Amino acid sequence: MSATDHSISAGGLPPARLLPGHAALRRVIAADIRPGLAISAIFLAVLVFAGIFPNILAPTDPLATDPSHIFAAPSLDHILGTDENGRDVFSRLVHATRSSLLLGLGAALLTTSVGSLLGLLAGLGPRWIDNIVMRISDILQSVPEILLILVIIAFWGASMSTLLFGLGFAGLSNCVRQVRAQSLVLRRAPFVEAALTLGLRRWHVVLRHVLPNAIKPVLVLLPLQIGIKISAVATLSFLGLGAPPPAPNWGGMLAIDRDYVLNAWWVAAAAAGVITLTVLSIATLGRDLIRRSEGRR
Amino acid sequence: MFAPSLSRANFLRGSAGLLVAQAMGGAARAQAVSAAAVLYAPTDYRAREPGKSGGTLRVSVATDTGILDPHALAATNVQWIGRILFDNLVYLDESGNITPWLAKDWTISPDGKTYTFALRDDVTFSDGSKFNAEAVLLNLQHMRDPKTKSPLAGTYIQPYASGRIVDEYIFEATLHQAYSPFLNVLAQSWLAMESPKVIREHPASLLYHPVGSGPFVLENYAPQQGMSFVRRPDYNWSPSLIGHQGPAYLDRLEFEFVPDASVRYFSLASGEYHFTTDVPPQAAAAIDAQPDLVMTDRIRMGAPFRPIAFNVTKPPFDDIRVRRAVARALNRDGMTQIAGFGLFRPVSNFLSETTQYFDDKSSAQLSYDTNAAAALLDEAGWTGRDADGYRTKNGTRLGARIAMTTAAASVPVLVQVQADLRTAGFELTLDAVPIGTAQLMRNNGDYQAMSGGVWHTNTPDALYINYHGSQIPNATHAGQNVSQLNDPQLNALLDQARLSHDPEVLKPLYAAAQARLIELVPAVPIYENQTVVAYHKTLQGVIYDTSHETPHFETIWFGERTA
């Protein structure tokens, strides 16, 4: 008991009391927004802005080449220097944001929506549907996600739509399993049985009572999914399977500069930095959501 | 002390016509005299002083060829493998003339169809079998054998009909028709002589355990890792031109495959390797800055790098004005800089400058000139402009798709092609296609343009290989004429050139063929096909192959500070 008392007296003081007088700061701390979370949120806000209005942030044409200034070091003209074709690195990073975010968001939504639907069908539908869905899910789970995407791209070629489809398709089985497991629990929950006993229609019960509860953990995981998908997009472009040149993409910039680190480390560093920060920020945000959903602070 | 005589700095400073070649480390200055062509000094090809025996040389190489049978190889840039393990019938001199090697002498019949070779009688293969007329016969048969799947050697001796063993050391080759590049191609590394015993008994083993008569013997080959060779102590039949007889100086050669460009540079600079056969051009400045490293870049004979080859049978490139406009819209110097970092040399011809009978009288017609490009497109009727700034005709946007293989190392150059054409109002779309798909497209002629490459061969017959009407690829013939060009005038010139050995006849024929190609623009030549090697200064006796400009390892020796 005394040990617990110690810990409370040492670190357990309400933080607000340590900083009297700063009302705004106190509110932030009272809402338990950690500095990491705040930085992540700001970075993501900038990214979203870059995705929507790239030209405001980086007015230089990301495709404009200049063979006489290849691999120029960072300067006032080019704050992150230029690349192998003399293009502005900062501008290319900014202009690559939209496709990265859209692909990440789109693929995560695709996985979540299709996965939830199949999970509900498997959990609440007849046994034979459950069997089919789960066996397909088993097959998908036995193949590494990246391999699955590579196969899809090999068949249909690299384009935005195949990338979106491939990324959405991979990772489906996790989502299916989660929603199925939740709905199996929920179908025997007292409130669902009560609703059915009251004579509500089956589909109404599914949509009003089962789905919202079954999908909750999936929604909490959505931000993490987006982060995973964005890094998968970067991986694929790194392997040369992203959008074809000259369109800028983060993974592609990193891949090409691998051969030129000697001449221009800044291209690889900038691209790697943006990828890392993006995934890190989304993960931070996601973890915070999970924490809150679990009632922890 | 002798090093490659044409230093890079001089190479670049050389004014349009006259290049001064400087023998590094010595006061001697040789002049490479030619109004147009780059010539390298004879000392680049001949060992000048005897060296010291001993030592193990460690070399880094960019790519693994996968197999080691030269008759089954087409890989570019690694012809030194052949020189390490094998010998050829003949060897070129620095001006492209044929000199003896395993063949002491030869005669050609007046109709150009019969070649009689007098062979050396003191040559043996490392498995003990003798080199004689039968060995030559078996080798030529092996190159032609469908089972060898020869991508290059077999094609190069296509006119060869049959061989006859006149006596043990006299061999007679009969051709279907006169083919003057025959001796040139026989000097190429991929047409080397392999052990007749192995060819007869188990030819498939040659893929991984080649047996030759060369200065080194294969000790070990580990795919994707490396290979090692040991000196053959009784070797005594180098071509006399290289200025060295007897066994190689080095005891052992250790090659390792280092695909990563940056790693190739760092591992050379750190001393992990003494030599690299593939300097990444982007490391040029860093290597130049290091006083104990020597770097040389050399132009290879044949066809220079052409990033874009037009399909002249399909719109929009069936219109010669559009092809010319594209050629003139490309900033050749810019692309050369992007790919070569100051090491590469731009060229506006379909033959490289070092190739025999190079003639650049009409090269100016392909020079970078955006006004000329605009005028040509206007003339071709592409006078409208759409919202994105691209030219239009009757509401159609001017543009084309170019198929590039997914592994294209030249992506930055193609991106520059695309950017230059965008300025000219032409929309070029880059399609990355898998290599198998590219092969199918080639065979079916189903493309508007293809990303081209280089074609290295030691004769101006490169023009025949790349642009003769008979070389259009199809399902049964893997031809190199991806431009699908079939011009009667050009075909006739190239056919005639294959009939003659007379320089007085060949010079005007090849000059006319080059002029005709520049007129037809089946592709756009941008920069020379160059090999760049670098090594530590302790190494002496580095000389180059007259056919391939790749290094010869048998004359290399360690100077004072043996690493």
Sheet with strand B449-450: strands edge to edge: B427-433, B399-405, B449-450, B308-310, B523-524
pLDDT at B25: 30
Distance separating alpha carbons of residues B493 and B513, to the nearest angstrom: 6
Distance separating alpha carbons of residues A80 and A57, to the nearest angstrom: 14
Distance of CA B493 to the CA centre of its chain: 23
Distance separating alpha carbons of residues B357 and A82, to the nearest angstrom: 41
Residue B406 has its nearest CB partner, among A240, A256, A262, at A240
Q: How far is A245 from chain B (nearest CA, A)?
A: 7
Distance separating alpha carbons of residues B33 and B94, to the nearest angstrom: 13
pLDDT at B299: 95
Are B340 and B475 in the same domain? yes
For the record, the structure tokens of B332 come out as 């050749």
A246 in contact with chain B, both atoms CB, cutoff 8 A: yes
pTM reported for the whole predicted model? 0.83
B153 in contact with chain A, both atoms CB, cutoff 8 A: no
Query: Does B227 map to a domain?
Result: no
DSSP B369-399: -HHHHHHHHHHTT--EE-TTS-EEETTEEPE
Nearest to B75, CA basis, from B531, B404, B437: B531
Q: Quickly state the pLDDT bin for B16 (edges 50, 70, 90).
A: very low
Distance separating alpha carbons of residues B84 and B33, to the nearest angstrom: 32
Are B326 and B471 in the same domain? yes
State which fold the A95-293 domain adopts.
MetI-like fold (1.10.3720)
Q: Dihedrals φ, ψ of B443, to 5°?
A: -65, -35
Under 8 Å between Cβ of B256 and B58: yes
CB contact under 8 A, B430 and A63: no
Under 8 Å between Cβ of B406 and B434: yes
Amino acid symbol at B434: P
H or E stretch at A289: helix A265-293
Q: Quickly state the pLDDT bin for B409 (edges 50, 70, 90).
A: low
pLDDT at B142: 95
Distance separating alpha carbons of residues B185 and B150, to the nearest angstrom: 14
DSSP B86-114: -B-SEEE-TTS-EEESSEEEEEE-TTS-E
pLDDT at A22: 64
* Signed CA dihedral, A67, A73, A77, A78: sign only: positive
B338 in contact with chain A, both atoms CB, cutoff 8 A: yes
Are B312 and B449 in the same domain? yes
DSSP A244: P
Q: Is B536 helix (H, G, I), strand (E, B) or coil?
A: strand
Under 8 Å between Cβ of B11 and B1: no
pLDDT at B408: 59
Nearest to B84, CA basis, from B301, B263, B291, B232: B232
Which segments of chain A are extended strands (E)? Answer: none
Tens-place pLDDT, residues B320-379: 999 999 999 999 999 999 999 989 999 999 999 999 999 989 889 999 999 999 999 999
Query: Does B75 map to a domain?
Result: yes
A–B interface: beta-carbon pairs under 8 A: 66
Distance separating alpha carbons of residues A284 and B267, to the nearest angstrom: 40
Chain A residues lying within 8 Å of B334, measured CB to CB: 65, 67-68
- CATH number for the domain that contains residue B311: 3.10.105.10
A260 in contact with chain B, both atoms CB, cutoff 8 A: yes
Whose tokens are 């492209």? That residue is B96
pLDDT at B406: 63
pLDDT at B30: 30
Rounded to an integer, the average pLDDT of B399-413 is: 82
Instruction: Residue B467: count other Cβ atoms within 10 Å of its Cβ.
Output: 29
B63 in contact with chain A, both atoms CB, cutoff 8 A: no
pLDDT at A27: 62
DSSP B249-289: S-SEEEEEE---HHHHHHHHHTTS-SEES---GGGHHHHHT
pLDDT at B45: 94
CA-atom Rg of chain B in angstroms: 24
Distance separating alpha carbons of residues B95 and B426, to the nearest angstrom: 42
Rounded to an integer, the average pLDDT of B122-151 is: 94
CB contact under 8 A, B337 and A70: yes
Cβ neighbours for A179, distance < 8 A, ≥ 6 positions apart: A115, A116, A118, A119, A120, A123, A214, A215, A218
Nearest to B331, CA basis, from B429, B421, B449, B426: B421
Q: Which residue of B has its CA nearest to A241?
A: B406
For the record, the structure tokens of B406 come out as 């997914």
pLDDT at B58: 98
Query: Does B150 map to a domain?
Result: yes
Q: How far is A265 from chain B (nearest CA, A)?
A: 11
Rounded to an integer, the average pLDDT of B233-255 is: 95
Q: How far is B404 from chain A (nearest CA, A)?
A: 11
Q: How far is A237 from chain B (nearest CA, A)?
A: 12
pLDDT at A45: 93
Secondary structure of A146-167 as H, E, C letters = HHHHHHHHHHHCCCHHHHHHHH
Rounded to an integer, the average pLDDT of B50-70 is: 94
Tens-place pLDDT, residues A53-75: 999 988 889 999 999 999 999 99
Whose tokens are 């074609």? That residue is B455
Under 8 Å between Cβ of B431 and B470: no
Helix axes A265-293, A89-124, angle to 10 degrees: 30
A61 in contact with chain B, both atoms CB, cutoff 8 A: no
Residue B14, pLDDT > 50, answer: no
Which segments of B158-222 are extended strands (E)? Answer: 160-167, 170-175, 216-222
A158 in contact with chain B, both atoms CB, cutoff 8 A: yes
Helices (H) then strands (E): counts for chain A: 14, 0
Counted residue by residue, chain A has a size of 297
Q: Dihedrals φ, ψ of B191, to 5°?
A: -115, 35
Chain A residues lying within 8 Å of B290, measured CB to CB: none
pLDDT at A28: 58
Query: Does B49 map to a domain?
Result: no
B40 or B85, which is more confident: B85
Residue A67 has its nearest CB partner, among B260, B261, B416, at B416
Residue B29, pLDDT > 60, answer: no
CA dist list (Å): B163 to B106, B114, B116, B144, B183 = 14, 9, 10, 12, 15
Domain span at B126: 68-208
A162 in contact with chain B, both atoms CB, cutoff 8 A: no
A155 in contact with chain B, both atoms CB, cutoff 8 A: no
For the record, the structure tokens of B160 come out as 């060869």
Torsion of CA A42, A44, A46, A48, to 10 degrees: -140
pLDDT at B12: 35
B21 or B263, which is more confident: B263
pLDDT at A10: 41
Distance separating alpha carbons of residues B412 and A255, to the nearest angstrom: 13
Q: Quickly state the pLDDT bin for B75 (edges 50, 70, 90).
A: confident
B260 in contact with chain A, both atoms CB, cutoff 8 A: yes
pLDDT at A224: 82
Query: Does B124 map to a domain?
Result: yes
DSSP B147: G
ipTM confidence: 0.77
Rounded to an integer, the average pLDDT of B115-141 is: 97
Residue A63 has its nearest CB partner, among B286, B341, B419, at B419
pLDDT at B104: 96
Rounded to an integer, the average pLDDT of B48-69 is: 93
CB contact under 8 A, B335 and A67: yes
Cβ neighbours for B266, distance < 8 A, ≥ 6 positions apart: A262
Q: How far is B409 from chain A (nearest CA, A)?
A: 10
Helices (H), B52-181: 80-85, 133-144, 153-156
Chain B residues lying within 8 Å of A84, measured CB to CB: 338, 412
pLDDT at B176: 95
Whose tokens are 């008994």? That residue is B201
CB contact under 8 A, A85 and B286: no
Query: Does B358 map to a domain?
Result: yes
Whether the ω angle into residue B316 lies within 30 degrees of 0, i.e. cis, is: yes
Query: Does B232 map to a domain?
Result: no
Burial per residue of B137-156, b for 16 or more beta-carbon CB atoms within 10 angstroms, e otherwise:
bbbbebbbeeebebebbbbb
Chain A residues lying within 8 Å of B266, measured CB to CB: 262
Residue B315, pLDDT > 80, answer: yes
Q: How far is B16 from chain A (nearest CA, A)?
A: 20
Residue B36, pLDDT > 90, answer: no
- The last residue of one of the domains, among B180, B208, B236, is B208
CA-atom Rg of chain A in angstroms: 24
Residue B35, pLDDT > 50, answer: no
Beta bridge partners of B114: B174
B96 or B1, which is more confident: B96
Cβ neighbours for B298, distance < 8 A, ≥ 6 positions apart: B4, B40, B530, B531, B532, B544, B549
For the record, the structure tokens of B165 come out as 């063993």
pLDDT at B76: 79
Q: Which residue of B has its CA nearest to A258?
A: B262
Nearest to B125, CA basis, from B138, B144, B107: B138
Chain A residues lying within 8 Å of B419, measured CB to CB: 63-65, 85, 246
pLDDT at A32: 67
Residue B8, pLDDT > 50, answer: no
A172 or B425, which is more confident: B425
* Signed CA dihedral, B526, B530, B535, B538: sign only: negative
pLDDT at A216: 80
Cβ neighbours for B425, distance < 8 A, ≥ 6 positions apart: B374, B377, B382, B385, B389, B390, B391, B398
- The last residue of one of the domains, among B208, B225, B252, is B208
Query: Does B122 map to a domain?
Result: yes
Give every residue of chain A whose pLDDT is below 50, as ranges: 1-19
CB contact under 8 A, A67 and B265: no
Helix axes A172-187, A89-124, angle to 10 degrees: 40
- The last residue of one of the domains, among B208, B234, B257, is B208
Burial of B563 (0-12, 13-18, 19+ CB in 10 A): middle
Rounded to an integer, the average pLDDT of B460-474 is: 95
**Residues of A (98-137) whose Cβ lies below 8 Å from B:** none
Number of domains in chain B: 2
